[in-house]
Amino acid sequence: MTAPKVADTTPEEGYERGLGSRQVQMIAIGGAIGVGLFLGAGANIAKAGPSLILMYALAGGIIFFIMRALGELLLYRPVSGSFAEYSREFLGPLFGYFTGWTYWLMWVVTGMAELTAAAIYVDYWFPSVPQWVTALVFMLVLFVANLISVKLFGEIEFWFSMVKVTALIGMIVIGLGVLTLGFSQAGDTASVSNLWAFDGFFPKGIGSSLMTLQGVMFAYLAVELVGVTAGESENPEKTLPKAINTLPWRIALFYVGALTVILCVVKWTQFAAGVSPFVKAFAVIGIPAGAAIVNFVVLTAALSSCNSGMYSTGRMLRTLADNGEAPKVFGRLSASKTPAIGITTSVVFMGIGVVLNYVVPEKAFGYVTSVATGAGIWTWLMILISHVLYRRAVKAGRLPASSFPAPGGAVCSWIAIVFLLFVTGLIAYDAESRISLYVMGVWAVVLGIGWMVLKARTPGIAERDEQVLEKVS
């Protein structure tokens, strides 16, 4: 296995620098607005009440630490499939192999979740259409789009994100209007006091609020997608720092801000699992066709994330193939410079989500989100640990410093690592979400067997090349 060169900023051979600044910015924004907020927040509000706002803010701060750690690594060496590459460099080939395949799993099951959510949203208009049919149609349409070119993916993602951003800002403005001017059917009951008037800010207790962190973290899955785009961005040195540095205000506005306004307009006791809090809020406000419009917006959010999943899985499989950790066929690019075989294989596995929608439509979303969260936590931990080891190497003079250092250095990464381990403990404690740890355990065994087979076939694959850690002159 050939080790990557120090500070190599060359894109992987064959990829097209087809993502402009406008598209990378919107991909970053879109990654922070997904089905976890639009659909999953309903169940979490029912569990935690208004204190969910605090949970989103807390988790958002940790996500910023993770993204700044990733940003420092990306500007040290921007590559497509970044997380697996950094794990391979700083922790060894085994961790690169595990991280690449686990990130692939995360997006496959996230794609299942998004297809499930999209089917639920369409049910709002067409209740007679089976969920699995809708999920299958959306999967095939996005699959074809991803095969055409990275530019088309970027353009679709740009407009999906534009719809989400515009709609969320509109919701916040309308909600503030209801609060300050008192118009709409909710005008008489809308009040900031709704945040504490019904059994307090922590109506179910602090313990119940903390238990929502696993669902909250799922809502933030995909913010790291901007790292996967590094190898296909036109100017990663400029676009990536800008995309990452805007994360705090995106979290403050789209998560904390939107939820605060909604919970002021509608008391938290009216929300329930399986119903988007945004759709519910507009229905209560009574704006003509408002709920249908919001339903369309959250549908685009689900399709946006599924679109991103197809993009990232194909790239990750190619990274694995380039390192001899996946069949070589996944390393091939089509005439349009897309990893078509990798995308196709991933979509076939996403089809399991369609089957789940047929077999257990009422439980499909919960199953896949818990598994996706487990895989996402592993990915984030690898980013953070790689960052800590990178900072040590820089301090020792073995590697060049990044042009985009994380504030607080390795300290913030350690804080984020402890937080993620705490969330993992919450997942283990909760009987419903514990299934994700069982699945991850089985997944680890499967990967372990695969690694032993790889070592038997290619003995040198497990050797760590120390070229990347040579002292910088």
The string of DSSP letters for 69-105 reads HHHHHHHHS--TTHHHHHHHHHH-HHHHHHHHHHHHH
Average pLDDT over residues 283-293: 77
State yes or no: pLDDT of 196 exceeds 60.
yes
Average pLDDT over residues 78-102: 85
Q: What is the pLDDT of residue 11?
A: 42
State yes or no: pLDDT of 95 exceeds 90.
yes
State yes or no: pLDDT of 434 exceeds 80.
yes
Give the SS3 label for residue 296: helix
Report the candidate in 415, 436, 412, 432 with the shortest Cα–Cα distance to residue 424: 436
Cβ–Cβ < 8 Å for 340, 313: no
Residue whose entry in the numeric block shows the structure tokens 């989400």: 164
What distances in angstroms separate CA 259 from CA 45, 223, 276, 362, 378, one per listed residue? 9, 19, 12, 25, 28
Q: Which residues contact 212 (CB under 8 A, 6 or more apart)?
A: 44, 47, 48, 52, 55
Report the candidate in 69, 83, 88, 87 with the shortest Cα–Cα distance to residue 404: 69
Q: What is the pLDDT of residue 338?
A: 77
Q: Kindly state the tokens that stand for 447.
A: 């990967």
State yes or no: pLDDT of 132 exceeds 50.
yes
Report the candidate in 8, 142, 101 with the shortest Cα–Cα distance to residue 382: 101
Average pLDDT over residues 413-440: 90
pLDDT band at 233 (very low <50, low <70, confident <90, very high): low
466 residue type, one letter? E
State yes or no: pLDDT of 226 exceeds 90.
no
Q: Kindly state the tokens that stand for 86.
A: 């950094």
Rg (CA), the chain: 22
321 residue type, one letter? A
Q: What is the pLDDT of residue 380?
A: 94
Report the candidate in 11, 59, 113 with the shortest Cα–Cα distance to residue 423: 59
259 or 84, which is more confident: 259
What distances in angstroms separate CA 159 from CA 37, 39, 156, 168, one per listed residue? 19, 20, 5, 14
Per-residue pLDDT tens digits for 308-339: 788 888 888 888 888 888 888 888 887 777 78
State yes or no: pLDDT of 3 exceeds 60.
no
pLDDT band at 446 (very low <50, low <70, confident <90, very high): very high
How far is it, in rounded angstroms, from Cα 361 to Cα 363? 6
State yes or no: pLDDT of 10 exceeds 60.
no
Q: Which residues contact 28 (CB under 8 A, 6 or more apart)?
A: 223, 225, 226, 243, 244, 246, 247, 250
Q: What is the pLDDT of residue 2?
A: 41
Q: What is the pLDDT of residue 316?
A: 83
Q: Write down the mean pLDDT value for the chain.
A: 81
307 or 424, which is more confident: 424
pLDDT band at 393 (very low <50, low <70, confident <90, very high): very high
Average pLDDT over residues 227-245: 70
Cβ–Cβ < 8 Å for 218, 55: no
Report the candidate in 141, 263, 164 with the shortest Cα–Cα distance to residue 222: 164
197 or 360, which is more confident: 197
Share of the chain above pLDDT 70, in %: 82
State yes or no: pLDDT of 52 exceeds 90.
yes
Report the candidate in 265, 291, 263 with the shortest Cα–Cα distance to residue 276: 291
pLDDT band at 111 (very low <50, low <70, confident <90, very high): confident
pLDDT band at 115 (very low <50, low <70, confident <90, very high): confident
- pTM for this one? 0.84
pLDDT band at 61 (very low <50, low <70, confident <90, very high): very high
